[in-house]
Amino acid sequence: MKASIGGYARAETVAHAIALLGEADGAGRILAGGQSLVAALNLGASAGDLLVDIAGIRSLRGTRLDGNRLVIGALTRHSDIVRDALIAEHAPLLAAAAPLVAHDAIRNRGTIGGALAYADPAAEYPACALALGATIILEGPDGTREVAAGDFFLGLFETAREDNEILTAIAVPKARRGELHVIREAARRAGDYALAGLAVVRRDGRHRIGAFGLADRALLCEGAMAALDQDDVDAAITALAQDIDPPGDTQASATYRRHLAGVLLRRIALDLGGAQ
Ligand SMILES: Cc1cc2nc3c(=O)[nH]c(=O)nc-3n(C[C@H](O)[C@H](O)[C@H](O)COP(=O)(O)OP(=O)(O)OC[C@H]3O[C@@H](n4cnc5c(N)ncnc54)[C@H](O)[C@@H]3O)c2cc1C
């Protein structure tokens, strides 16, 4: 099917993009890397919408330090994240996640802001944002607001972002000395969306576990986190099975995804133990 759109406008600045969304009165769709949106348009979703292209807004690209936080602009591409020195030093979880996202061609165009705003339950970054205790930064007609990642991912492709808001950046706490970051996933082929995945941060002896592909959204696995804090891996795997609510589909049954989650957590526990 050919994409059908109501119009196209290239935004020069964030304020310009917000104004264009306002003029579209609920029928505006932000276009960033286009790697998910264009496929959705070709399937007939969003027909008649005004595409507001933000790809040329330079202020939304790149990374900077802000006190104890690393701020990553929404238009920072997956391929930039693989190479960025600040991300490697201060948010190694994201540096490890980026090569798992799709293929080179998609990583060269797709953006972290697009992936977070799209909120695919099988995507890596939302789970990383939860594990890192990240903050999502949004800008709209009433100014800027910050939303904890834990309050941002609300359901299947659903977030706390309002239609007239732009996700401008994600801020993550700078990694502390001795902090460990691990991400593992199971996918049918390299570059496919994961069947199941876990992103884990160990900070000051405490664990944060973000799950992807294991519910209708990225999830923080609080039962498993508490058990892992006690170094009880078997209890963590048992608790993880309760934390998650995996879907069953043509790719994998819910039972198989639950099994994969336990296998991934055991491997991650070995990764963490091996690094001590
Ligand atoms: C074959 C294939 C395999 C893929 N595999 C994976 C994978 O394994 N893991 C993974 O995470 N992703 C995967 N993706 C998706 C890819 O990572 C996309 O790049 C990403 O999901 C969206 O980023 P984008 O910049 O292309 O956003 P777009 O496609 O431009 O936009 C996606 C959605 O987010 C909205 N949006 C975009 N930017 C903003 C913003 N700044 N503020 C508010 N709303 C915004 C858009 O309006 C749209 O609804 C895959 C895609 C393909 C085609």
Same-domain check for residues 68 and 161: yes
Same-domain check for residues 68 and 154: yes
Task: Kindly state whether residue 220 falls inside one of the protein's structural domains.
Answer: yes
Domain that holds residue 141: 58-173
What's residue 126's pLDDT?
98
Same-domain check for residues 38 and 109: no
Same-domain check for residues 40 and 84: no
**Residue in 5, 20, 30 to alter for ligand 1 test, most ligand atoms within 8 A of Cβ:** 30
Q: How many angstroms separate the alpha carbon of residue 120 from the centre of ligand 1? A: 8
Report the chain (276 residues): mean pLDDT per 10 consecutive residues: 75 97 92 92 77 97 98 98 98 98 96 98 98 98 98 98 97 96 96 96 97 98 97 97 96 97 98 70
Q: Residue 232: give its domain's CATH number.
A: 3.30.390.50
For ligand 1, atom 28, which residue shows the shortest CA distance?
A: 34
Task: Kindly state whether residue 262 falls inside one of the protein's structural domains.
Answer: yes
Q: How many angstroms separate the alpha carbon of residue 260 from the centre of ligand 1? A: 25
Q: What span, in angstroms and rounded, lies between the C-alpha atoms of 19 and 57?
A: 14
Same-domain check for residues 74 and 133: yes
Residue 21 CB–ligand 1 contact under 6 Å: no
Task: Kindly state whether residue 1 falls inside one of the protein's structural domains.
Answer: no
Task: Kindly state whether residue 115 falls inside one of the protein's structural domains.
Answer: yes
Task: Kindly state whether residue 125 falls inside one of the protein's structural domains.
Answer: yes
Same-domain check for residues 110 and 197: no
Same-domain check for residues 169 and 184: no
Task: Kindly state whether residue 230 falls inside one of the protein's structural domains.
Answer: yes
Same-domain check for residues 168 and 63: yes
**Where is the domain boundary, 124, 145, 173?**
173
Q: Domain count for the chain, please give it.
A: 3
Residue 37 CB–ligand 1 contact under 6 Å: yes
Same-domain check for residues 101 and 74: yes
**Where is the domain boundary, 153, 173, 193?**
173
Task: Kindly state whether residue 130 falls inside one of the protein's structural domains.
Answer: yes
Same-domain check for residues 163 and 63: yes
Same-domain check for residues 115 and 189: no
Residue 212 CB–ligand 1 contact under 6 Å: no
pTM: 0.96
Q: How many angstroms separate the alpha carbon of residue 37 from the centre of ligand 1? A: 7
Task: Kindly state whether residue 2 falls inside one of the protein's structural domains.
Answer: no
Same-domain check for residues 108 and 166: yes
What's residue 130's pLDDT?
98
**Where is the domain boundary, 173, 196, 229?**
173
